[in-house]
Structure 1
Amino acid sequence: MLAAYVSGHGYGHLTRLCEVLRAVRTRAPRLPITIVGTVPEPLVRRAVPGDLTLRRVACDVGLVQRDALVIDEPATAARCAAFDATWDARLADEVAFLRESGTRAVLGDLPPLAFAAARAAGVPGLALGNFSWDWIYRHLSVREPSLAAHADRAARAYAGTDLLLELPFTGDVSVFPRRERIGLVARRPRVERAEARRRLGLDARPAVLVSFGGVGLPGLDRARLAEERGLSWILPEDVRTGRLDALGLDYPDVIGAADAVVTKPGYGIVSDCVAAGTPLVYTDRGDFPEYPVLVREMVRLLPCVHVPGDDVRAGRIGDAVRRVLAAGRPGAGAMDLGGAERGAARVLEAVR
């Protein structure tokens, strides 16, 4: 069996993990897979075909967000301290699970607990990611000193991995003893652009997807957006899972149908836009060290326009959208998109 652990922070970790698992399933249709984490089951079952077990366990903290753009650093520190207080019991539970289930390899994106458990259980541990949580927590510990201990614990766990399947947009991953670059893991649209637009009911106006993940942006001024008569807006309520299921679409199909995406930079949305060739209007996301790495790289791959967070909340994004639209769609193919297949090959080598 393959045990796949996933961080509970945002959808990006889950969606790229599922892309690798989809490729694993193609190569090994009968391999039992268990996903461990607090994950939305409908999204997982739509992404990974075949027999799949979900084990709902909170295996890390990630970051606590006030909304999509603001990190709650004190709450993050408090939750990390509470998690560390139960670390030994959590580790014992995961080691027992790995042994009793006959797990032959662990793939993790990117909870430290997964790799500590794999090491203790004596099974290979493979990490998937473009940064490590010890890097994030150490950066935030300047203001929240208690996070330094959590960073140290994460670093010890990562040091025991067998291999990091390293993705583009890489931050500090020096803690991993062995690393292999595999290329971009990204979801591709599976419905042709014109057909996806038809199913979404879009007209000839440029369509702009407003995408801020599961946390959302509650203060967004929708009335101001509606005043932009020359643009068609795809808002979070338009792309709820149930509606997309009814339309026979997945989220990457919506990204491919859009003429631009308004978002905060995160691996998941950036990689989806790269795969679809969809330009970005982006805003700030707090003092998150992955942010400048993503911005530096994504502007080389896609037309991108920055807009301040206050302007996004106020709906003052029409001008930025028109500027990025004027640059045109670059089309897919700007980056190596073979990461899922290469990652799957390495995972199956470990399982066997």
Structure 2
Amino acid sequence: MKKNKVRLLKEESEYCKKNNISLILTDSSSFPITIALETGIQSIFLGNFTWDFIYRNYAKDDSYFGNLSDQLQVEYGFATEALILPFSCPMPTFLEQTNIGLVGRKPTLSKELARQKFGFKDDTTYILLSFGAYGLEGTQLQTKNLTPSIQLIAYGVPGIQTDGILVPEVSHYPDLVAAADYVCTKPGYGILAECYYAKTPILYTDRGDFAEYLYLVNALDLYFRSAYIDLTRIISCQFEEVLTLINTIDSMTPKLEIKTDGEEDVVSHLLEYN
């Protein structure tokens, strides 16, 4: 693995020199920062977490991850600048860092127009299962337990069953997020950003032993209408209790707003290096 990294560092550095690359933007690996250092150019980190933080969580089981985390932390320190996204985790000390606005995919339609596009009915509650390739693989959801007023929808979930689940044609996923009444997911930065722009509440479940999870849950508490649901209840399609909770408890309402349009922040910082 170390030999591969040395080889890749040499190849990428030579590529940067040959093609007159003057700046590297990384989301959110430390290795491109090392390439920039080797090439003698500047680098910008962009992200809400660094991998040294993620790997250090596993050092309790294997010291290898502690050593790897130490190495990555050093690499991050050579970044010229860091642009920190919302929902951020603890990070290494950067030479210069700036908290920027939210970066994420936005719907092209209003909630009303999005629901019309997908043919959603006013008397039905639509719950979008947003799990990507993780969390529901090989799982048979017990859709027979759903009440007639609840319809599960999904798109881009590998192997998802069609029995009891609507899988519509989708050209722009954030429009489906906007059309849904709720998104049910294992929290990650991307889906949180999409839900924030679409103003769609979130039903979230566990993500296992992953260090970012607690910080994303804290973000859900601060910025979203959200509620926790156990994975077994998702599989058994028992949503009534959590829907009652999210619609009746005052604490489920957002407490703070997020600065949006982080893309503009990124572009303005990039132009400073031009």
Normalising TM by the smaller chain, what interval?
A: 0.7 to 0.9
SS in structure 2 of the partner of residue 342 of structure 1: helix
Question: How far is the alpha carbon of 1:226 from its aligned partner?
Answer: 6.0
Identity percentage of aligned residues = 28
- How many residues end up aligned between the 2 structures? 262
Partner of 1:244: 170
1:232 matched to 2:151? The reply is yes
TM-score (ref. length: structure 2): 0.87
SS in structure 2 of the partner of residue 86 of structure 1: helix
- Mapping of 1:302-321 within 5 angstroms? 302-321=224-243
Question: How far is the alpha carbon of 1:223 from its aligned partner?
Answer: 3.2
Partner of 1:115: 33
Partner of 2:42: 124
SS in structure 2 of the partner of residue 262 of structure 1: strand
Taking the aligned partners of 1:196 and 1:94, their CA distance within structure 2 comes to: 43
1:262 matched to 2:184? The reply is yes
Of 193, 201, 210, the residue aligned with 1:288 is: 210
Q: 1:223 to 1:103 in 2, by over 3 A?
A: same
Q: Is the 8 A contact 1:225 1:233 kept in 2?
A: no
Taking the aligned partners of 2:137 and 2:236, their CA distance within structure 1 comes to: 11
Counterpart residue identity of residue 175, structure 2:
D
Q: Is the 8 A contact 1:187 1:272 kept in 2?
A: yes
Q: Quick check: which has more Rg, 1 or 2? A: 2
Question: How far is the alpha carbon of 1:239 from its aligned partner?
Answer: 5.8
Structure 1, 304-313 or 164-173: larger mean CA deviation = 304-313
Higher relative contact order (CA 8 A, sep 6+): 1
Q: Is the 8 A contact 2:77 2:92 kept in 1?
A: no
TM-score (ref. length: structure 1): 0.69
Taking the aligned partners of 2:89 and 2:32, their CA distance within structure 1 comes to: 20
Partner of 1:166: 84
Structure with higher helix content: 1
Taking the aligned partners of 2:11 and 2:70, their CA distance within structure 1 comes to: 21
Q: Which runs of 5+ in 2 are unaligned?
A: 157-165
Taking the aligned partners of 1:225 and 1:345, their CA distance within structure 2 comes to: 52
Partner of 1:203: 121
Question: How far is the alpha carbon of 1:325 from its aligned partner?
Answer: 4.4
Q: 1:326 to 1:233 in 2, by over 3 A?
A: farther
Taking the aligned partners of 2:74 and 2:5, their CA distance within structure 1 comes to: 13
Q: Is the 8 A contact 1:274 1:334 kept in 2?
A: no
- Mapping of 1:1-352 within 5 angstroms? 82=1, 84-204=2-122, 205-224=124-143, 227-236=146-155, 243-245=169-171, 250-326=172-248, 334-350=257-273, 352=274
Q: Is the 8 A contact 1:110 1:128 kept in 2?
A: yes
Taking the aligned partners of 1:128 and 1:208, their CA distance within structure 2 comes to: 31
Please tell me the root mean square deviation across aligned C-alpha atoms, in Å. 2.3
Question: How far is the alpha carbon of 1:152 from its aligned partner?
Answer: 2.2
Taking the aligned partners of 1:119 and 1:239, their CA distance within structure 2 comes to: 47
Q: Is the 8 A contact 1:208 1:262 kept in 2?
A: yes
Taking the aligned partners of 2:144 and 2:129, their CA distance within structure 1 comes to: 10
Q: Which runs of 5+ in 1 are unaligned?
A: 1-81
